[in-house]
A and B are shown apart, each in its own frame.
Chain A
């Protein structure tokens, strides 16, 4: 696979619910090894876009290709097959509350492969080490974990099948700034070592500035894709408001720092 071919190709995607049009011709590419951020106001269809990329929702028209295979044209069986190639983390972790952490992590592996207990235990150790959790977490139940730990376990579970693409919905929502920035570093590190492609929906401007190579902004039912600098300089009123409002300061400070050095 040539490194310049995009991993995800989205072309002219239209999503509508009844008379309400959420996406009206959304197109963008995601390059391999890239961290791609998706932002947009409430109700702008970020989650719908993510669900469309994941194949959980078929768009009303348009196509989504992942690794040169058209997700939007697949039947359910093929979809299930390709879903093993990517990992997903949900906003609230979506850990299975009745299973231990170890069982949560090994569930997709045990489902896909025939491995013995010992190998599964070793894989649990690996994934916990990868996301920087102490190994005694394995026997705990999700209810016994803090919010940050839940997100890490969710990441460990998403990585369980060595995906090439990772989709993440609000990865740092609900984390304190220290935990959030540790999490950003972890994701950057994993991207660099594993050459993962990461697509994330986020509202966290710090995360956006720290990790994302390119940003897609959903406005007016379309998408504007650019580097973060390009987006921040964009003249669209909503984007100006988003990045230049009170909360946008961190991003601008970072930009100015980058320019200064």
Chain B
């Protein structure tokens, strides 16, 4: 295409050669229209491209207007802020309603074993528990090795290396074992729950269940949550055992502490409640992770981006809730001297 601008009263001569696809023809047509609107007189040197008739016909139909681009303004900013706040409130309400529905659907399930869906619970226990043992064990081993190493190093100047055993034993049993297990499970299972339920939601599978007269809370949510509540204490015991083993290994290596001495020291360091103080938190953490994951999964709507966003939210929130609950437990145990 060539355009020649002739003298004074701007006449634009346009020479369109060759053939053009529809898209370029449309853009050219728009450009010529803009020029004419700006007051230039446009002259085509050759017959207009073949598609122009079709495009004129298209443009003749009334199809409304393209939606305007959103402008950045104070009002829009305020509206976004308000929308965000409203969303917060809606989210809290949704979480409450979710809990309520779950309790309502759990009530009849307690009364009959069939409605507890034992096979489903067992399957989820296998996926979230048995298959998580290796990673939980390794993490617990490593964290106790790290704390034993730091403890031994810091306590040596005081000649109090022997207290490394106390540090590792109490640390692992009360806090680290259960907390790290919960964080691993949140990352592994919380995300899996959210993604599974989210995809089911996108595929209308949840609606299909409901249309068959089944309660998705009873069929999908309850077994997952129950499985996690049951499995968390078991995983915590694995983590505790591996943590103590790691502690024994490293104190033996760093402090030349024989195995029998470690056990004796352990016996005096650990009170009878120490183990239980960690274990009792496990089902609570399992409940929090299970509820968060399934709730976020069921909130997925419409698009694959939502699925990704809510899966992330599920993991971040469940880890946050676990640590927050752990802090509450710490204060509570201190108050009751547990």
Contact = CB atoms under 8 A, between A and B. Distances in A.
A133 B27 contact: no
B275 interface: no
Interface in B36-62: 51, 54-55, 58-59, 61
A109 interface: yes
B64 interface: yes
B305 interface: yes
A161 B23 contact: yes
A123 B55 CA distance: 12
Contacts of A203: none
B305 A135 contact: no
Contacts of B71: none
B63 A129 contact: yes
Interface in A83-122: 97-98, 102, 109, 119, 121-122
Interface residues of A, number: 30
Contacts of A162: 21-23
Interface string A115-142: 0000101111110111011111011011
Contact of B30 (A97, A98, A102, A122): A122
Contacts of A139: 67
B307 to A, nearest CB: 9
Contacts of B78: none
Interface in B313-330: none
Task: Report which residue of A122, A124, A126, A135 has the largest number of chain B beta carbons within 10 angstroms of its beta carbon.
Answer: A126
A138 B66 CA distance: 7
* Size class of the B contact interface (CB-based, 8 Å): 20 to 34
A130 B58 contact: yes
A123 B26 contact: yes
Contacts of B73: none
Given A98-B303, A162-B21, A122 B27 contact: yes
Contacts of A2: none
A160 B23 CA distance: 8
A135 B301 CA distance: 25
A122 B302 contact: no
Interface in B55-101: 55, 58-59, 61, 63-67
Nearest to A162: B21
B153 interface: no
A97 B67 contact: no
A141 B26 contact: no
Contacts of B154: none
A98 B63 contact: no
B303 A143 contact: yes
A51 B30 CA distance: 37
Interface in A142-175: 142-143, 159-162
Q: Nearest 8 pairs between A and B by C-beta?
A: A98-B305, A143-B302, A97-B303, A162-B21, A139-B67, A126-B26, A129-B58, A135-B64
Given A122-B27, A135-B66, A193-B51, 8 more contacts: A97-B303, A129-B63, A135-B64, A136-B67, A143-B303, A160-B23, A161-B23, A162-B23
